[in-house]
Amino acid sequence: MNNLRLLLPEAILATLGLVVLLADLFVPVKKARVLYHLAWLSAAGVLLWTALTLGDPSAHGVGSLWSVDPFSQFFKVTTLLTCVLCLLLGLDYKELPEKHAGTFSALMLFSTAGLMYLVSSTNLLMIFVALEVVSISSFILTGFERQNHKSNEGAMKYFLFGAFSSAILVFGISLYYGAAGTVQLAAASAAPGPMLILALVLILLGFAFKASIAPMHFWVPDAYEGAPTPVTTFLSVAPKLATFAALARVFGSIFPLEAYDLTLLFSIMAALTMTIGNFTAMFQTDAKRLLAYSSVAQAGYLLIGLAAGSPLGREGVMLYSFVYVAMNVGAFAVIQAVGSAKGSYDLSAFDGLSKHRLGLALSLMFCLLSLAGIPPLAGFMGKLIIFSSAVQAGHWWLAIVGVVNSVVSVYYYFAIAHRMFFREPADEKAIPVGAYVCGGVALAVVGVLLFGLYPEPLLAGVRASTKILP
């Protein structure tokens, strides 16, 4: 075990998760909220630590099954950031039973720790174990509202589909072992043959499940709709982005795409994911389902950057990932506030929101505009870099599919904006907004505006962290 110290942040986070779980035994139910605070503070502490050592060479290195490099550090930051924000959202989410606060927040921390392992893994078995840690905690989190049928249904579908795709992934890994004689990524020197190609495709499909890439996206709408909103937020951001990091590591740096000519496969999956996501989202009437399909489409945009296979493409993926945290968490936070107050996530709950809560309506609109890639918001800058990587690599058709999809997405994002600003409110019910949701939304909107108007620091930071150690 070389360089075990490199994984100290993850280990500490996992330990803190255990501490939260233990503390659950001793904290009275009435004061259970303190566990949330404990959890988010732990995550925030590790976040601070990781962020501060982002560019520190002494924190980087190669271990036996892992390597910690600027690239993985960057994705650890996005994961931890999402975790902190989602735990804050959880504080204002009333549907979660107080007595399970410890379990809930501990599971969030475990899931996050799993994702942190995932982005550093250089060994397929370690990747599998990390993915399972994430998946199992996510299954439980999705079904956390035990009295809610939708929550149970979502968790069940998620679990069945997850088990199926884990099997595919393991099968791929075993084929890979057969072809290459090792599960270590860097040692891959096997000649490309049918077996290796099949192995790679199966591994890719296993990843596609986690990142909600078509054709493995079928669990997404049900799981997202059923899961408690903070969990939906988490699922739609953190595992997706971390899986993209793992994808970039496995297929981008270790096997160059062109060596096995998976570029076309990546491009087709990207086009399919965007198109399916966007065209299905158009017909949704539930805000969470709509955003679920939108997050499928977003995965498609990210995949364009990987399909380009260039340094610019990787920068695009990283930049977009970071921005995606802000815009998606922001959008879900507003949806949570409205949905909780109205008791329904139907789109009609948003009718006339601007009359009662102009700030909330504007925040959601900014996030949606950013998701649609309208300048001068941050999402535009991310898409700009991603599309330019496709143009640079000569994938013209992919870039065209991408921009046309962006136009399609405006249609359904604006269906929400339309309801918020053009319709009259159905009732005079007040929409209370908790302090933590408010803070989360404010942070997200500031991020969306700031990185849209002045993306230079972020872009420079991304450019400095593209390095992947083998």
Cβ 146 to another protein shortest distance, Å: 41
Distance CA(371)–CA(261), nearest Å, equals 31
Which of residues 227 and 401 has its CB atom nearest to another protein in the complex?
A: 401
Cβ 402 to another protein shortest distance, Å: 9
Task: Centre a 10 Å sphere on the Cβ of residue 398 and count the other Cβ atoms it contains.
Answer: 25
Which of residues 193 and 394 has its CB atom nearest to another protein in the complex?
A: 394
Cβ 404 to another protein shortest distance, Å: 7
Which of residues 159 and 380 has its CB atom nearest to another protein in the complex?
A: 380
Cβ 462 to another protein shortest distance, Å: 8
For residue 276, give Cα distances in angstroms to 151, 270, 281, 382, 404: 24, 10, 8, 21, 13
* DSSP element (H, E) containing 61: strand 61-62
Which of residues 37 and 423 has its CB atom nearest to another protein in the complex?
A: 423
The site for another protein (CB under 8 A) is made up of 354, 369, 374-376, 380-381, 384-385, 387-388, 391-392, 396, 399-400, 403-404, 406-407, 410-411, 414, 418, 421-422, 454-456, 459-460, 463
With b meaning 16 or more CB within 10 Å and e meaning fewer, what string describes 115-131? bbbbbbbbbbebbbbbb
Cβ 72 to another protein shortest distance, Å: 21
Reading the block at residue 45, the tokens are: 């502490």
Distance CA(239)–CA(82), nearest Å, equals 10
Cβ 328 to another protein shortest distance, Å: 20
Amino acid occupying residue 149: H
Q: Is 356 exposed, middle or buried (0-12, 13-18, 19+ CB in 10 A)?
A: middle
Q: Which residues contact 403 (CB under 8 A, 6 or more apart)?
A: 387
Reading the block at residue 381, the tokens are: 């800058």
With b meaning 16 or more CB within 10 Å and e meaning fewer, what string describes 434-461? bebbbbbbebbbebbbebbeebeebbeb
Which of residues 129 and 362 has its CB atom nearest to another protein in the complex?
A: 362
Which of residues 164 and 414 has its CB atom nearest to another protein in the complex?
A: 414
Which of residues 27 and 384 has its CB atom nearest to another protein in the complex?
A: 384
Cβ 74 to another protein shortest distance, Å: 15
Cβ 103 to another protein shortest distance, Å: 43
Q: Which residues contact 281 (CB under 8 A, 6 or more apart)?
A: 290, 293, 294, 296, 297, 409, 412
Task: Centre a 10 Å sphere on the Cβ of residue 375 and count the other Cβ atoms it contains.
Answer: 14
Which of residues 163 and 403 has its CB atom nearest to another protein in the complex?
A: 403
